[in-house]
Amino acid sequence: MKNVAIEMKHVSRKFVSPTGKITLALRDFSLTVHEGDFIAIVGPTGCGKSTTLGMITGLNPPSSGSVKVFGKSVQGIDPNIGFVFQADAVFPWKSVIDNVAIGPIFRGTDPKIANDMAADWIRRVGLSGFEHHYPHQLSGGMRKRVALAQTFINEPKILLMDEPFSALDVQTRALMQEELLGLWSEKKASVIFVTHDIEEAIALADRVIVLSKGPGSVKSSYEIPLARPRDISEARYSDEFVHLSKQIWSDLKDEVQI
């Protein structure tokens, strides 16, 4: 039995506007993620998907309920957690290698060792030859590869991803999904991947969680029986994949219809 990496029990999260209006983003939300699990969360806009990630990082403490990481209540930022955002979180004035090396340097690694580590990760994400380029000289997909290298170089035990590939074109997105699965299979971090795309969720995850419209709560959970290692391009055309996609969409459509 794998150890529990993330445990959220009966969590609710309220936000108060400057005018005093209270908005309930999540209500009675519970989720357990074991070590090495790859979980995808789908749901309509405003259902609290990003709020969920914020509570795990410690940036948005719950209004009620409990959030634990490796058995300990979340208090502040945990260095075991990596976060990949929808927007590129790269420093525009730094080169690729400097962007990738900055995490280890910040954590106290000798700069020469950090640069050697960064060069290795740049190679692993397919960016050899671009070490001294700057973000504005890279395509969207290449910047996402930098973001993955930035995150994986710190060897996070938990990886939180908030719609990281949504701005990419279809072909680049498919390549980045394959890249992510390859890196994850090496390190086996526990992943929570937020997306609006049902097919992306099925292609990547071991389990897909469907949230209700806001205030969000767990509406349903689907185990994904597709074999690993997973060839996404092949899996998408399987009868099992199509059936799951229809099932999840049927469950989700009532939440997104006005």
Angle between the N-to-C axes of helices 96-106 and 111-124, in degrees from 0 to 180, rounded to the nearest 10? 130
Domain of residue 237: give its range: 4-80+157-256
Question: What is the average per-residue pLDDT within 188-204?
Answer: 92
Clarify whether residues 191 and 240 are in a common domain. yes
Clarify whether residues 148 and 200 are in a common domain. no
Clarify whether residues 71 and 31 are in a common domain. yes
Quick check: is 86 in a domain? Answer: no
Clarify whether residues 72 and 171 are in a common domain. yes
pLDDT at 98 over 90: yes
Q: How far is the C-alpha of 74 from the C-alpha of 169, rounded, in Å? A: 36
Quick check: is 220 in a domain? Answer: yes
Quick check: is 85 in a domain? Answer: no
Quick check: is 138 in a domain? Answer: yes
Max alpha carbon distance in the chain (Å)? 56
Clarify whether residues 219 and 232 are in a common domain. yes
Question: What is the average per-residue pLDDT within 204-222?
Answer: 89
Q: How far is the C-alpha of 109 from the C-alpha of 81, rounded, in Å? A: 18
Quick check: is 88 in a domain? Answer: no
Quick check: is 87 in a domain? Answer: no
| Tens-digit pLDDT profile for residues 10-46 | 998 888 878 878 888 888 989 999 999 999 999 887 7
> The domain that contains 183 carries what CATH number?
3.40.50.300
Q: Specify the pLDDT at position 258.
A: 53
Clarify whether residues 64 and 168 are in a common domain. yes
Clarify whether residues 134 and 20 are in a common domain. no
| Tens-digit pLDDT profile for residues 38-78 | 999 998 877 778 888 888 988 888 889 999 999 899 887 78
Q: Specify the pLDDT at position 8.
A: 93
Partners of 158 in beta bridges = 81, 190
Last residue of a domain, one of 136, 155, 174: 155
Mean pLDDT of the chain, nearest integer: 88
Q: Specify the pLDDT at position 134.
A: 95
Last residue of a domain, one of 155, 171, 203: 155
81 is written with which tokens? 């957690």
Q: Tell me how many domains the chain contains.
A: 2
Partners of 31 in beta bridges = 8
73: exposed, middle or buried (Cβ count in 10 Å: 0-12, 13-18, 19+) = exposed
The whole-model pTM stands at: 0.90
Quick check: is 197 in a domain? Answer: yes
Clarify whether residues 246 and 164 are in a common domain. yes
